Amino acid sequence: MKKIKKPTILVTSLGRTGTEFFAKFFASIIPDCTSLHEPDIIQSTGVDDKLAHFMEQVRRAGVWRLVILKALGKWTLVKLSDSRFKGALDDQHAIMGLHTQRFGFIERMPGSIYVEANIGYYGLLDITPAVFKDHKAIYIVRDGRDWVRSHMNWGQFYGKKGIRKLIAHNWPIAADLPSDPYAEKWNGLSRFERLCWAWTRLNSYALETVSKNRDARVFQFEKLFSGEGKYQVLEELLAFSTALPSINTTQLRNTNGWLERKVHQSSNEFPSWQEWTKEQKGQFETICGHLMITLGYTID
């Protein structure tokens, strides 16, 4: 199997961590690159002109990929990640699936560098070295309290209804994993508890894949977007991700001002941690506490 030759930068997460920001960021900072945000996911929210956005996706991906293969479930990286997470797809088939979905697509993109910010890679970062000749991968993790709050306000993760629940991407659930302690309790969990479970279980899986790839690295959302040394962290991320052939780092554009740009902010309907009920705080600590501590987040 031929590896993808074009140097590639991948950015992934469980969503609500600025993936769209990074697609725009790299497009501006790196000369002669194609930088895309979720080219295999048809956007239904957060896009002002949905038809124009869809037509641009069709132009890039082609009718065959985005309309036909997408409809058949054969052009969607997040489905590969979900299947691996659920134990329904072995490494070799995952490698072949990733190669099939991206080899021709990336090679035909203009520019000498390809960048893709996509939640679909969350469960694939340990196998990307088998598909890409030269790549760097970034996984963004966010404080569970803010992530849960953001998704409660965003309303898509475990919140789809009607036809969208049937045709759109639906994230794995505990019932998909018979040995999971929450498998039999799932139907009785609130959406809040389900999001707590997702943050813990899906992040744990993703972080394990990152640990197996020397060309992948974890960055914390807070240190990038709100920490005192956020521009230093951004420069570290840029230095790591651009350590690739074909990238002349002396030609990278200035990063000043980028972290003041806000993309896809959610509403404030669901409150912050300080205003959670005692029950919600207890549920969060029970489900998420161990991983929060592992990641260095302090629960006050």
Q: What is the pLDDT of residue 89?
A: 97
By C-alpha distance, which of 138, 144, 160 is closest to 198? 144
Rounded to whole angstroms, how far apart are CA atoms 15 and 169?
A: 13
Averaged over 136-147, what is the pLDDT?
97
Q: pTM of the predicted model, to two decimals?
A: 0.91
By C-alpha distance, which of 280, 6, 296 is closest to 131? 6
Residues 245-285: tens digit of each pLDDT: 999 999 999 999 999 876 555 567 899 999 999 999 999 99
Q: What is the pLDDT of residue 4?
A: 98
pLDDT exceeds 80 at position 47: no
Q: Look over the chain and give the mean of its residue pLDDT values, rounded to a whole number.
A: 89
Whether residue 65 lies inside any domain: the answer is: no
Q: What is the pLDDT of residue 109?
A: 93
* pLDDT bracket for residue 67 (50, 70, 90): low
Averaged over 36-56, what is the pLDDT?
66
DSSP three-state, residue 71:
helix
Rg of the chain taking only CA atoms, in angstroms: 19
* pLDDT bracket for residue 289 (50, 70, 90): very high
Tell me which of 63 and 30 has the higher pLDDT: 30
Residue 280 sits in a domain whose CATH number is 3.40.50
Whether residue 86 lies inside any domain: the answer is: yes
Range of the structural domain that residue 276 is part of: 8-41+76-294
Give the up-direction half-sphere exposure of residue 99: CA atoms within 13 A in the CB hemisphere. Answer: 17
Whether residue 172 lies inside any domain: the answer is: yes
| Tally of domains in the chain | 1
Whether residue 201 lies inside any domain: the answer is: yes
Residues 164-220: tens digit of each pLDDT: 555 568 999 999 999 999 999 999 999 999 999 999 999 999 999 999 999 999 999
| φ/ψ of residue 6, rounded to 5 | -65, 125
CB within 8 Å of 99: residues ≥ 6 apart: 1, 4, 131
